[in-house]
Amino acid sequence: MVKQRKRVVLVLVDGSSAAEAAVRFFANTVMRSNDVVRFAHFKAVPKRQLPPAGSHGHEQTGSTESAYLTATESDFFHKLESYILEVEEVENVKVEHRTYLCAEGKHELCQAIESVISRPENKVDLVVMGSRGLSALEKMRGLGGTSDYIAKRCGHPVLRVPYPCVVC
User: Using one digit for the tens of pLDDT, what is the confidence trace for 25-56?
Assistant: 999 999 999 999 999 988 888 877 776 655 44
8-162: CATH number: 3.40.50.620
pLDDT exceeds cutoff 50 at 63: no
* Average pLDDT taken over every residue of the chain: 79
Summary count for the chain: helices (H), strands (E): 5, 6
The torsion angles phi and psi of 65, rounded to 5 degrees, stand at: -85, 55
Phi/psi region, residue 10 (left: phi>0; alpha: psi -120 to 50; beta: rest), is beta
Residue type at position 121: E
Count Cα atoms within 13 angstroms, Cβ side, for 146: 26
Q: Find, among 13, 18, 11, the residue nearest to 163 by Cα.
A: 18
Measured distance between the N- and C-terminal CA atoms of the chain, rounded to whole angstroms: 29
Interaxial angle between packed helices 71-85 and 17-29, expressed in degrees from 0 to 180 and rounded to the nearest 10: 20
Using left for φ > 0, alpha for ψ between -120 and 50, and beta otherwise, residue 145 falls in: left
Residue-wise pLDDT tens digits, 95-125: 998 888 888 888 888 888 998 998 888 889 9
